[in-house]
Amino acid sequence: MKPVIALVGRPNVGKSTLFNRLTSTRDAIVADFAGLTRDRHYGNGHVGKREFIVIDTGGFEPTAESGIYKEMAKQTRQAVAESDVVIFVVDARAGISAQDHDIAKYLRRLGKPTVLVANKAEGMTQGLQLVEFFELGLGEVLPVSSAHGQGVRSMLDTALEAIPGLADEDDEEAEEEDTSVIRLAVAGRPNAGKSTLINVWLGEERLVAFDMPGTTRDAISVPFEKDGQKFELIDTAGLRRKGKVFEAIEKFSVVKTLQAIESAHVVLLLLDATEGVTDQDAHIAGFILESGRAVVLAINKWDAVDAYQREQIERQIETRLAFLKFASLHLISAKKRQGLGPVWKSIIQARSSAMRKMTTPVLTRLLMEAVAFQAPTRGGMFRPKMRYAHQGGMNPPVIVIHGNSLQHVPDAYKRFLEGRFRKAFDLVGTPLRIEFKTADNPFKDAD
156, 243: one domain: no
What is the C-alpha separation between 403 and 401, in angstroms, rounded? 7
23, 151: one domain: yes
What is the C-alpha separation between 62 and 102, in angstroms, rounded? 7
pLDDT of residue 131: 84
Show Cβ contacts of residue 422 under 8 Å, excluding neighbours closer than 6 positions.
Answer: 326, 428, 432
335, 434: one domain: no
pLDDT of residue 384: 87
340, 374: one domain: no
160, 220: one domain: no
Blockwise average pLDDT, block size 10, the chain, 447 residues: 87 87 62 43 80 84 72 82 90 89 91 91 70 88 88 91 72 56 86 82 54 43 81 66 38 69 90 88 87 93 91 92 92 90 93 94 95 85 88 92 88 92 94 87 49
CATH number for the domain spanning 411: value is: 3.30.300.20
pLDDT of residue 63: 72
Positive or negative: CA dihedral 66, 69, 73, 79 = positive
Q: Are strands 85-91 and 50-56 parallel, antiparallel or unpaired?
A: unpaired
Provide the number of structural domains found in the chain.
3
What is the C-alpha separation between 442 and 424, in angstroms, rounded? 35
pLDDT of residue 373: 93
CATH number for the domain spanning 306: value is: 3.40.50.300
pLDDT of residue 241: 43
